[in-house]
Chain A
Amino acid sequence: MSQLFSSQKFRRTALQGGFILGVVALIVSTVLVGKSNIADQGMATGFGFLEQTTGWPVNFSIIEVTGRSTYALVLWAGLLNTMLVGFLTLIFATILGLVLALMRVSSNTLIKLVGASYVEVFRNVPVILQVFFWYAILTHLPSPKQAYSLGESFYLSNRGIMMPAPALSGGDVLWLTASVILAVIFLLLTRKHLQSGPRWAIAAGAIFIVFCILLLTGREPDSALISVPQLKGLRFVGGITLKPEFTALLVGLTLFGASYIGEIIRGGLLSVDRGKLEAGRALGFSTLQINRLIRIPLAFRAMLPSLTNQYIWLMKGTTVGIAVGYPDYFAIVSTSINQSGQTMELLALLMGGFILINYSIGFLMNLLNERIKLKGRN
């Protein structure tokens, strides 16, 4: 018997068995307590509520949502809102981050100083404070009647930023999306046959032509191609309106994210071995060629893992939108929990939604990583 207890194999098995039992016991007791508590409060369980109508409005959505929409549709709208603000943030923050990184590796001390000051200021202040700040600024703008106007087509008011937009209908947007998808397929198919210059030119040209055709055909003869915002009574009509909630979240996240992304890109650029750059110079490459052919590809490889983490962080960071009333996925789920009481189900959907988004980003970035990593040797 004592031999049995001193046997390492037995101890290992017993420990793991005990661990599994403990976890199972924890889950079972949680479920039992949860069930009895939920029954006490007279709440229903299951996902049936997704078919019910919500009865509350959503103040920002890219799809049509009203108080009579179902929970499923409203949650979908929330997920789309999160992805909209998230992907726009990623794009803008990456562009700004690249500029900052180039400024910080510049040989000009003044430019370096400006880049460094930006990064230190925006990185060391919590993102939620920055979002609150921009929201306060935007909501303290004058009312639409006294709105600041830039060239009679851009207006800044406390209802949002109004700007001109191409007058496209829902059907037009569908056509445009289809042409973009076709262009991407074209790019993928011709990868082996054509040089990259003409391929991209053809794809971009095709999308542009579709866009022009859509603007010129199938519309009322007199209607304008570009819809410009105009003051009608107390509010603006036409154009596109960026609401303060959306703008504050986008601006706050972008400025904050750019400082981090800038540092990641700078780290990548600095990680490139000096010897390789000198080798390029010795071979007679110009600065531009050295940057394009040696420095950027190598730097990109080095910074991709950190960049992926930062992208995922920014996606999760969109949840602070609830603080200024932007209805992102988290905000919609939390309102739904308040209104329907379906806590467990909605929480599962919340986690599922974020895990889905984060794993998609991780998956795409890994694909990219596979394509650019050193071939041949490992």
Chain B
Amino acid sequence: MAIEAQAPPPSATGPAVWLRKHFFATWYDTVFSLVFAVLIYLALKAFIGWAFVDAIWRVENKDLCTHDAGACWAVIESRGRLILFGLYPYEEQWRSTLACLAVIITIALSCLPSFWSIRRLPILWIAGFATFVLLMRGGFAGLELVTSEQWGGLSLTIFIFSAVFVIGMPLAVLFALARRSSLPVIAKSFGFFIDIVRSLPLLALLFAAAVVVPLLVPDWLQGNKLMRVVIAFAIFFAAYQAEIIRAGLQSISQGQEEAVAALGMPYWSLVIDILLPQAFRNTLPSTINQAVITFKETSIVTIIGFFEVMASGNAAIGSGEWGNQYVEVYVFLALIYFVFVFGLSRYGAWLETRMRLGHA
């Protein structure tokens, strides 16, 4: 019995085929697609109407801001500086802007692979952080002195983030190396310490640093509240980052350490030249993820009474004048965080793909 020759299956190309495959593959796909298309259309229409078409942009038109009108962005024009700079003196706010730019440039530069070296990155970050602090604080070359009690808004958020990063990263390396130490007492104690810190809520640690530490250390060692909270935050960050670095260290083959020992290189050279570069390179996506989480968690310090961007946003709607514009202010805050966090996390995802392809 012969089998009759059949035509080849139709080659699947063209927009109609693409549409069918992605939207109308089965009858329930068609139903879902139609329902979601209608929902997306309605949601977008409502959102664009609220945020753009019916929105009120200028403070002059503030009286038009009623319940039925669209978004009242006038609140941002009126309170934007409070949200971004907090109580920083009005005439000096350009310094705050420049300082934030310095840190943003630092972050951008450290995303470039040409800066990925164990000597360049720390120098870059310390330089960026020092520029930030000098500009914010002033007190030299005719710049007015502005103490950290007056810092606020987005610049305080960026200060806390970069300070935590600059202090926390060396600590994390120290913790990771100590936990892997061949000395059992040191390895066990640091392991215990890291596990305890990781099982506590960040808020509890920050609270302890703000309220309890003054009771436990002599006066000369206390520093101010902001410093204590930043150090506690850095320790929290370091405990998580140390585990990431440790995972990176574990992925390096034992043979390399033996080779270094055979060549008679000292321990610090083993760490700086051989282990850390590879450990960081292997765990870059997790490290960026940790940075993203840290940036989001800076918003928690608002609870223990710091005036960072979350708190200044709340202050902007705390007064009676703009009390009803809470949605606009929260959307604005969300956008600020979103820009930073989404940007960094997209970069991390891109890096991950690149590394999977074997480039980095």
Contacts and interface: CB of A to CB of B under 8 A. Distances in A.
Instruction: Indicate whether A and B interact.
Output: yes
A337 interface: yes
A322 B301 CA distance: 12
B326 A124 contact: no
A97 B294 CA distance: 23
Interface in A176-210: none
B360 interface: no
A290 to B, nearest CB: 16
B319 to A, nearest CB: 14
A19 interface: yes
Contact of B189 (A12, A19, A114): A19
Contacts of A16: 183-186
Interface string B31-54: 011001100100000000000000
Contacts of A30: 216-217
Given A20-B185, A110-B32, A111-B32, A128 B300 contact: yes
Interface stretch (A33-41, A62-70, A215-223, A240-248): A33-41
**Of listed A110, A322, A323, A344, residue having the most chain B CB within 10 A:** A110
B36 A125 contact: no
Contacts of A114: 36, 40
Nearest to B35: A110
B183 A109 contact: no
A145 interface: no
B215 A125 contact: no
Contacts of A95: none
A37 B215 contact: yes
Given A34-B216, A358-B199, A125 B29 contact: no
B342 interface: yes
Contact of B314 (A132, A351, A358): A132
Contacts of A132: 310, 314, 330
Contact of A124 (B203, B217, B345): B345
B203 A320 contact: yes
**Of listed A37, A132, A350, residue having the most chain B CB within 10 A:** A132
Interface residues of A, number: 49
A323 B302 contact: yes
A108 B317 CA distance: 42
A367 B19 CA distance: 46
Q: State the main secondary structure of chain B at its contact with A.
A: helix
Contact of B327 (A136, A334, A343): A136
A171 B300 CA distance: 41
B341 A316 contact: no
B183 A15 contact: yes
Interface string A319-354: 110110000001000100100000110010011001
Interface stretch (B91-99, B204-212, B224-232, B244-252): B204-212
A126 B297 contact: yes
B22 A136 contact: no
A120 interface: yes
B338 interface: yes
Given A19-B189, A129-B334, A347-B212, A108 B23 contact: yes
B10 to A, nearest CB: 20
B141 interface: no
B216 A128 contact: no
B211 A343 contact: yes
B337 interface: yes
Contacts of B330: 129, 132-133, 136
A364 to B, nearest CB: 15
Contacts of B337: 124-126, 129
Contact of A110 (B37, B203, B317): B37
Nearest to B338: A124
A124 B341 contact: yes
Interface string B176-199: 000000111110010000001001
Contact of A316 (B21, B202, B317, B345): B202
A109 B22 contact: yes
20 contacts: A16-B183, A16-B186, A20-B185, A34-B215, A108-B23, A108-B25, A109-B23, A129-B334, A132-B310, A133-B326, A133-B327, A317-B201, A319-B201, A320-B303, A330-B201, A344-B215, A350-B204, A354-B199, A355-B200, A358-B199
The 3 closest A-B pairs by CB, nearest first: A316-B201, A126-B299, A109-B22
